[in-house]
Chains A and B, each alone.
Chain A
Amino acid sequence: SQTIHQWPATLVQPVGSPLSLECTVEGTSNPNLYWYRQAAGRGLQLLFYSVGIGQISSEVPQNLSASRPQDRQFILSSKKLLLSDSGFYLCASEALAGEVGEQYFGPGTRLTVT
């Protein structure tokens, strides 16, 4: 099965500072990758997904961006953070050996923008 790594686990950043969150995947090749954001007590909001290297689809217009420089690496970035960017960020990989749509999730990054 797949293992999804995310770091850092927690992050406190001031407004206006840059952001880089990294996600790497083990145990599969050419996965579909996803970035989600979860506000406190809420469901998951899909931010970006990628079906291959350099292929990024954005679901929500905002000051965040994503890149996929390698097959199993997915990066979430921002040039200038806003207070509203605070939340729990989750990376997910599709379980290609399983049913279509079934996903494995990383442990998440808790981002607090101050």
Chain B
Amino acid sequence: SQQGEEDPQALSIQEGENATMNCSYKTSINNLQWYRQNSGRGLVHLILIRSNEREKHSGRLRVTLDTSKKSSSLLITASRAADTASYFCATSGGSYIPTFGRGTSLIVHP
């Protein structure tokens, strides 16, 4: 399975700190995506990184991809209470249909 697995399962930090979440997967991929889900809501797409890319930025988000280690990380800098949510990685292979991990629950304390 190319399902991504996020680590840690839960993360609790103070406002202003950086939050780092990791995603590991087992088979080769075409791209990897990160999504955010507020409690009881749908998912929101954050960023997509292709297999031939190593790093992408979007605002306070930084995503890295290491295909040799089959892993990715999502860094949120200068976190805010509003960043409290669950974060999911989703990997896509030949079919480009994303397979989602179980997510990291992030709590940012004001």
A binds B: yes
Interface range on chain B (Cβ under 8 Å from partner): 20 to 34
| Residue contact A100 to B31, C-beta cutoff 8 Å | yes
Cα separation A42 to B40 with both chains bound (whole Å): 13
Q: Which residues in A have their C-beta under 8 angstroms from that of B99?
A: 46
Q: Which residues in B have their C-beta under 8 angstroms from that of A92?
A: 42-43
> Taking chain B's interface residues, is the majority helix, strand, or loop, or is none over half, making it mixed?
strand
Counting residue pairs across A and B whose Cβ atoms lie within 8 Å, the total is 60
Whether B92 is near chain A, meaning CB under 8 Å from some CB there, is yes
Total contacting residues, chain A, CB less than 8 A:
25
Q: Which residues in A have their C-beta under 8 angstroms from that of B3?
A: 43
Given A34, A36, A43, which contacts B102 in the complex, CB threshold below 8 Å?
A: A43
| Residue contact A49 to B97, C-beta cutoff 8 Å | yes
Whether B48 is near chain A, meaning CB under 8 Å from some CB there, is yes
Whether B88 is near chain A, meaning CB under 8 Å from some CB there, is yes
